[in-house]
Structure 1
């Protein structure tokens, strides 16, 4: 049995990839690959986030395992895709007080692998420029009604820092993990065909449709509109207010992307990101995908 787990991370086009694969779920099943994503993993009895929060040995584990086995219907291979295996984007969960990214990722992943029948698992993980990741994760929490301004969300963290290198090291060191396949979110469009070839049975990558962009973030004018109203009315339903802002100020209508940081922050972020990517390329049990290398492999 081959086990593959697409971990996300959050705000790295995970939903776009998940929606793409969902369109051919039946064909994947017929080819011997059981594909399970948030459409199944966020509802009882397969509410994986809640099970991971409760911890190994919780009462819901047997029902989850039984439901997963039933869904597999004899498929030899299993592909899970769920960014919440890493953790959440809430300000108290995505980073520890010391700045550790997804501080409970190893414990949660170990439990998820056990629930899937055991390893070794091949992990798939996208990373993102720190400034963009921090702002986009914040915007998600705004959309969920949990945040208003960026500074309280950051809790003193440098917005130009995200510890991707440390996270990948922790994941690659797990005995249940065979290797970690990593790519930049910024390369997703170019790498998508290669990712599909790696994730799916032979011949099925070309059958995956290209859906439109999904889960688009707040635009800058939308956030400014949201912020004015949230500050003026402390009793406002923040989730509803954010939804209205997203509908009213869409990227499709020409409104610019959310930009809450200074140019100097973005410059430092780009430098930090480049240094981490260079270090990731040298890690054992880590395969770093890049568009040029993917083209050479296909050739």
Structure 2
């Protein structure tokens, strides 16, 4: 049995992965092999996906997965970068396609895992909030300073979740796609875990505090001003300083890069996309 938790990025994936990693040995004793980002990146999964299924990295990754999951009835892989990255054009292509290479990459991972057909797990998020959080991630990695160049002319309210899901559903080796809204994650988390792991193993998963706390508005404003004024600054160091000086714990307001009109339009677009996703073949949509 094969399950792929695809993320997407900035939809509480890290929180779920950290929770699973806490009890990885116990899951293994229960017959489930869990491989998260750290394990899969050590297997050079990213290089295998870039170079294709016949490449040496792909063969090595296939062998590593086989050895990792030996003597386990279930294999769960969790890595949001299977879909693609969050750099410009990687997350959303110039033509507006979300994770443009996701279909090929997911198909290849299923082939490398060698466990037959797969169940996919995917979380959706409001478009404007999704774009803002993905941009903030690139800021924290030292890759971006300002929002407009990262958006490269895209409307931040237009994230075609339905197109992505339709492409994933078209993969013959995908049996089912379990989908939920990021906004419902806290309430749905026990059910998501039961579907991923089974009721008995799901009961082992601890509840952890939130991870990946983003920049505050004051922190981003300070970072942007300093970064634009001094091209010699190490952006990653600058971001860490901004996070320490202007934290949420100190009472600073969360990051907000879009106005009320954009957020309202985004909510409408999100509702339409969710309706289309619900109607897609192979989808099991979870509601609170």
Q: TM-score, normalised by structure 2?
A: 0.97
For residue 41 of structure 2, what is the aligned residue in structure 1?
Answer: 42
Tell me the SS of whatever aligns to 1:179.
strand
Equivalent residue for 2:169, pick from 163, 168, 172: 172
For residue 221 of structure 1, report the CA deviation from its aligned partner. Answer: 0.8
- Contact persistence 2:19–2:207 (CA under 8 A): yes
The alignment status of 1:73 with 2:70, answered yes or no, reads yes
| Aligned partner of residue 208 in structure 2, secondary structure | coil
Aligned to 2:15: 16
1 CA distance for matches of 2:206 and 2:246? 28
What is residue 185 of structure 1 aligned with on the other side? 182
Tell me the distance in 2 between the aligned counterparts of 1:129 and 1:65: 35
- Written as runs of structure 1 = structure 2, the 5 A alignment for 1:56-205 is 56-205=53-202
| Preserved contact between residue 28 and residue 201 of structure 1 (Cα < 8 Å) | no
Listed as ranges, the gaps of 5+ residues in structure 2 are: none
Q: Would the alpha carbon gap of residues 245 and 214 (structure 1) be closer, same or farther in structure 2, given more than 3 Å must change?
A: same
The alignment status of 1:214 with 2:227, answered yes or no, reads no
Moved more, 59-68 or 191-200: 59-68
Determine if contact 1:31/1:201 at 8 Å carries over to the other structure.
no
| Partner residue in 2 for 1:240 | 237
Whole-angstrom CA distance in 2 between matches of 1:238 and 1:51: 30
Aligned pairs (5 A) from 1:244-255: 244-255=241-252
TM-score normalised over the length of structure 1: 0.94
- 2:275 aligned counterpart, secondary structure: helix
Q: How many Å separate the matches in 2 of 1:254 and 1:210?
A: 25
Q: Secondary structure at the residue paired with 1:186?
A: helix
Structure 2: distance between partners of 1:83 and 1:40: 13
* 1:119/1:177 contact within 8 Å kept: no
Looking at structure 1, the residues matched to 119 and 85 of structure 2 have their Cα atoms a distance apart, in angstroms, of: 21
CA distance in 2, matches of 1:33, 1:109: 20
State the 4+ residue runs in structure 1 displaced beyond 2 angstroms: none
Answer whether contact 2:49 2:58 (CA < 8 A) is retained: no
Number of aligned pairs?
A: 288
Q: Is the 8 A contact 1:220 1:256 kept in 2?
A: yes
Residue 202 of structure 1: how far off its partner (Å)? 3.3
What is the Cα deviation at residue 163 of structure 1? 0.6
C-alpha contact 1:128 1:184 (8 A) present in aligned 2:
yes
Give the secondary-structure state (helix, strand or coil) at the position aligned to 1:90: coil
State which drifts further: 132-141 or 65-74: 65-74
**Alpha-carbon spacing, 1:118–1:73, altered in 2? closer, same or farther (3 Å):** closer
The CA deviation at 1:67 is 1.7
Aligned counterpart, 1:6 = 5
Q: Distance in 1 between matches of 2:241 and 2:40?
A: 28
Q: Among 35, 50, 55, which residue is 2:52 paired with?
A: 55
Q: Distance in 1 between matches of 2:264 and 2:116?
A: 40
